Amino acid sequence: MKRVFLFLSLALFGHSAGFAQTVISLDVDGSINPVTASYIHNGIEKARRENAECVILHLNTPGGLLRSTRDIVSDILNSPVPVIVFVYPGGAQDASAGVFITLAAHVAAMAPGTNIGAAHPVTLQGSMDSVMGEKVTNDAAAFIRSIAAKRNRNLQWAENAVRRSYSYSENEALQDSVIDMIVKNDSELLDKIDGKNFEVSSGMRTLHSRNANIKVYRMGAIERFLNILSDPSIAYILMMLGLFGVLFELFNPGAILPGIVGVISLILAFYSMRSLPINYAGLSLIIFGIILFILEVKIVSHGLLAIGGIISLLLGSMMLIRSGSPWETARISRTIIISTTAIAALFFLFIVGAGIRSGRRKVVTGIDAMIGALGYSYDDLEPTGRVKVHGETWNAESVSGKISKGDKIVVRRVKDMKLFVEKSDS
């Protein structure tokens, strides 16, 4: 009987432990933005629902939005399960916004050949004046100090990372108590944290992570799509496509499709640009360049307006993403800029110009095309009879007295399929 009881106890305990040994794995490889914050929040919620041992957040980021960073830090600090931030793989960086997230983790780990630091805040709407810059820096410094104090990490280095953009290699970070360990992979990480106690929102928790089952939680299709929109080159292409589409619709009312595509592209571009360091001087130059292209097809400037538009569009595109940002990946491809500028110039100078010029031409089809047409009288018009115009016989009425058969006539107006004509000397 005792043996049966012992067997059942071991079986139940083994099943319970095996069920609990689940780890949720997240992967952030890119900028910190609202989509990233939502993804991490959902990952932590998934870990809570499945009673996972912990969450491993693999991080490789050049930086991002401070507002999104605050949301992520808040989720980590209030997480019901331990959150381990692992700067991975080798060669990965943990810069700017990523520093705040790493310091907030219950365990901060780095892979060999990685680095952490350079958390000085940079505004996303252009250059700040000295007073505003000092306010933002002081706020970020206080924020990172509170995080470092909460996790017993190096307070002085954390503040210097904000105020002086200090950076560390993985060995320097471990030596100065910025991180907790250096590991090569997830397996080694889970072995090292096994049996450790952590304070979470629900109280103290002991990890049983050795040989745990790792479940990878990836972004959904919509999240991946929105994350792609955060790429500056994609945002730039969407903005130009939107402008072209709307302008084409204005020049050719009723086309419908260009207008729909243009408006959707502009909305997506505006969504993307809210998370990018946009230089509004560059944006203004792009808009000014397009205005010059429009004027070129309406005003005879012998190409001066077109040249000005090309220069303005090119300079504005180069300046659109503000330089000096910690977002080292936030750059628009030069190839895309040059190609877009060339296409824009051709679009306005040829396609739009041809459309406007064709709109100014005399109508050559339909009833309106009869006005001013020449023909000859088929009968004596006294004042009505028949005339020949464009090889067709029409009922006609003279508006200038009698017209003899065979006389040349010119059409002055058309009403109810009847031509009103007068004698022509041509």
- What is the DSSP secondary-structure string of 4-48? HHHHHHHHHHHHHHHHH-EEEEEEEES-B-HHHHHHHHHHHHHHH
CA pseudo-torsion sign 7, 13, 14, 16? positive
Give per-residue pLDDT as tens, 391-417: 788 888 888 888 888 888 888 888 878
Give per-residue pLDDT as tens, 63-72: 877 888 899 9
Which whole number is the average pLDDT over 233-262? 83
Give per-residue pLDDT as tens, 325-381: 443 345 677 888 888 888 877 777 676 666 555 555 555 556 666 788 888 888 888
Q: At what angle do helices 232-251 and 257-273 cross, to 10 degrees?
A: 150
* Predicted pLDDT at 130: 59
Name the percent of the chain lying above pLDDT 70: 83
Cα–Cα nearest to 381, from 400, 397, 399 = 397
Instruction: Say which residues have a Cβ less than 8 Å from residue 422's Cβ, sequence separation at least 6.
Output: 398, 399, 400, 403, 409, 410, 412
For residue 412, the cross-strand partners are none
pTM exceeds 0.75 for this model: no
Q: Is 125 a residue whose pLDDT tops 50?
A: no
Q: What is the CA radius of gyration of the chain?
A: 36
CATH class held by domain 367-423: mainly beta
* Predicted pLDDT at 13: 43
What residue ranges of the chain are covered by domains with CATH 2.40.50.140? 367-423
* Predicted pLDDT at 124: 43
Secondary structure in 3-state letters for 195-226: CCEEEECCEEEECCCCCCEEEECCCCHHHHHH
Which whole number is the average pLDDT over 39-66? 92
What residue ranges of the chain are covered by domains with CATH 3.90.226.10? 19-223
Lowest mean pLDDT of 47-61, 305-319, 368-382, name the range.
368-382
CATH of 19-223, one of 3.10.129.10, 3.30.70.1710, 3.90.226.10, 3.40.1160.10: 3.90.226.10
Which whole number is the average pLDDT over 239-262? 82
How high is the mean pLDDT of the chain?
82
Give per-residue pLDDT as tens, 147-192: 999 999 999 998 888 888 888 999 999 999 999 999 999 999 999 9
Contact 322, 126 (CB under 8 A): yes
How many angstroms separate the CA atoms of 98 and 167, rounded?
12
Angle (CA) 291-294-299 rounded to 5° is 115
